[in-house]
């Protein structure tokens, strides 16, 4: 089913997430597709990116000659400083996160439940790598956007009635941008609403590929 | 006051090591790890170590060197994904792991070093990592009790140190090092550079000397890069 729908590419998903960044935001972008969001921030929007290993104000990847082993992001990639950059300890960095000082985080997910529960850190039976900072981010950052494929590799819906995988946090997701659709909710007491369809996606197709209950309010 | 500078890593660890001890180590990934002191721990052959560190190194570098020689019995970490030998020992039941969310781990070491035995956090509530831990509600929200961490020794990597044990870290190599420095009963710092008394600007010292008992000049400063990324490549994956 889903392979008949063109849908959005990873870059288009990242661009859609970038549209949620408002001028002046401090934001944390997770590892993987969420990192691509940085490439799509509009030039008139001023964003400060935070990395949980203790860097505030992330610059782009360096030219080869400027690589510095002491300047890395949370994905352990070499990056650069900006005029606004500051460094802090991991405790202070998570103080920013846990203390609610970061406005937005974009994360990947294995599953999201209709009540906003998120699972993105372990699959039973597979080697557990650990949660890293994901549990802290979802517990502390004010708004959580999930970027994920709409269904898993074997076609199972990832937006579900309840998560089958171990949770990263309970009732923490505010928006889902999949390769097929955008779901959003105004607050964490409300159900998710289907807001946007990707190219080729229909309401019926999304209903068939989604296990979670949601409302529809397409513009 | 006598200088805290020791001639080398082996002498700085002398008298402190025993089998079954706990060791906190600074660093995030391979950035800001105490390479020289890890090599000295390998040479000393101390066994059954409980290691508190955000990550477990890679197979042949960082704490991975201690794992390779089966010197670690238990890891307290947030993420251990880059180490195959770790995976093998864990699956074989030779190694115990206690996962702590990254910010919780940082705060546990900060709390331990600050004399705080436990604290409440929203992180992890409702997940497997909060199971069995006491909870408390504040203003209608549930928080979980996490314990402070104090270890037998702590090892950190500094950029600059003075003979008093004042430390400065460099850029994102700071990461866990300041909290690690506070949570050891004895803290040993290796510094890329040791400067003369008075040379560090007092306002710019990250870790005040009181937290540091022994200082060495770092002789291993490989600073291996885990994921080299340059501007003509957008991502690695």
Question: Pick the catalytic residue: A52, A111, A114, A184?
Answer: A52
Interchain proximity B28–A93, CB inside 8 Å: no
Q: Residue A2's pLDDT is what?
A: 46
Q: Mind listing the pLDDT tens digit of every residue in chain A (219 residues)?
A: 445 788 999 999 999 999 999 999 999 999 888 999 999 999 999 999 999 999 999 999 999 999 999 999 999 999 999 999 999 999 999 999 999 999 999 999 999 999 999 999 988 878 889 999 999 999 999 999 999 999 999 999 999 999 999 999 999 999 999 999 999 999 999 999 999 999 999 999 999 999 999 999 998
Interchain proximity B127–A54, CB inside 8 Å: no
Q: Nearest CB to A39: which of B97, B124, B234? A: B234
Q: Residue B237's pLDDT is what?
A: 41
DSSP category for residue B30: T
Active site residue A64: no
Cα-Cα end-to-end distance for chain B: 53
CB contacts, 8 Å: B91 with chain A:
127
Closest-CA distance, B206 to chain A, in angstroms, reads 9
Cα separation of B28 and A3, whole Å? 40
Closest-CA distance, B144 to chain A, in angstroms, reads 12
Cα separation of B68 and B66, whole Å? 5
Kindly state whether A28 is in contact with chain B, defined as any CB-CB distance less than 8 angstroms.
Answer: no
Interchain proximity A67–B225, CB inside 8 Å: yes
Kindly state whether A101 is in contact with chain B, defined as any CB-CB distance less than 8 angstroms.
Answer: no
Mutate to test the interface with A, among B86, B89, B101, B176 (most CBs of A within 10 A): B101
Q: Residue B95's pLDDT is what?
A: 95
Secondary structure of residue B152 in the 3-state scheme: strand
Secondary structure of residue B211 in the 3-state scheme: helix
Q: Mark the ranges of chain B whose per-residue pLDDT is less than 50.
A: 233, 235-237
Residue pLDDT, tens place only, B189-229: 999 999 999 999 999 999 999 999 999 999 999 999 999 99
Q: Residues 157..216 of A with a Cβ closer than 8 Å to B: which?
A: 166-170
Interstrand relation of B72-77 and B96-99 (parallel, antiparallel or unpaired):
parallel
Instruction: State ipTM.
Output: 0.95
- Domains, chain B, ordered by start: 9-117+148-221 (3.40.1080.10)
């Amino acid at each position: 089913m889903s392979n008949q729908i063109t849908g959005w590419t990873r870059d288009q998903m990242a661009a859609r997430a970038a549209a949620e960044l408002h001028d002046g935001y401090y934001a944390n972008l997770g590892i993987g597709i969420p990192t691509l969001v940085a490439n799509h921030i509009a030039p008139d929007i001023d964003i400060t990116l935070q990395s949980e290993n203790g860097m505030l104000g992330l610059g782009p990847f360096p030219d080869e000659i400027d690589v510095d082993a002491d300047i890395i992001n949370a994905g352990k990639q070499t990056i650069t400083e900006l005029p606004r950059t500051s460094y802090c300890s991991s405790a202070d960095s998570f103080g920013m996160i846990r203390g609610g000082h970061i406005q937005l985080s974009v994360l990947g997910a294995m599953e999201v439940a209709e009540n906003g529960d998120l699972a993105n850190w372990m699959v039973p039976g597979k080697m557990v790598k650990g949660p890293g900072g994901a549990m802290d981010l979802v517990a502390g950052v004010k708004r959580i956007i999930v970027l994920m494929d709409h269904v898993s590799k074997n076609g199972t819906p990832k937006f579900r009635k309840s998560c089958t995988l171990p949770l990263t946090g309970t009732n923490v997701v505010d928006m889902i941008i999949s390769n097929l659709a955008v779901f959003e909710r105004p607050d964490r007491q409300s159900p998710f609403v289907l807001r946007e369809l990707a190219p080729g996606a229909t309401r019926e197709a999304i209903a068939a590929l989604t296990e979670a209950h949601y409302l529809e309010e397409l513009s | 006051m006598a200088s805290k500078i020791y001639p080398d890593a082996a002498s700085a660890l002398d008298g402190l090591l025993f089998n079954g001890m706990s060791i906190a180590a600074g660093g995030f990934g391979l950035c800001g790890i105490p390479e020289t002191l890890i090599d000295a721990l390998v040479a000393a052959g101390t066994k059954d170590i409980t290691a508190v560190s955000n990550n477990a190194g890679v197979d042949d570098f960082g704490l991975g060197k201690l794992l390779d020689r089966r010197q670690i019995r238990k890891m307290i970490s947030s993420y251990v994904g880059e180490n195959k030998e770790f995976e093998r020992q864990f699956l074989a039941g030779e190694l115990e792991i206690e996962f702590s969310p990254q910010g919780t781990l940082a705060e546990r070491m900060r709390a331990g070093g600050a004399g705080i035995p436990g604290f409440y956090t929203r992180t992890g509530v409702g997940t497997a990592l909060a199971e069995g831990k006491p909870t408390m509600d504040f203003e209608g929200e549930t928080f979980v009790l996490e314990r402070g961490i104090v270890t037998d020794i702590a090892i950190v990597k500094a950029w600059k140190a003075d003979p008093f044990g004042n430390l400065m870290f460099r850029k994102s190599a700071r990461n866990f090092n300041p909290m690690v420095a506070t949570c050891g009963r004895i803290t040993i710092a290796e510094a890329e550079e040791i400067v003369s008394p008075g040379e560090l600007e007092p306002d710019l010292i990250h870790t005040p000397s009181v937290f540091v008992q022994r200082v060495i000049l770092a002789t291993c400063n490989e600073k291996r890069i885990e994921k080299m990324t340059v501007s003509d490549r957008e991502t690695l994956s």
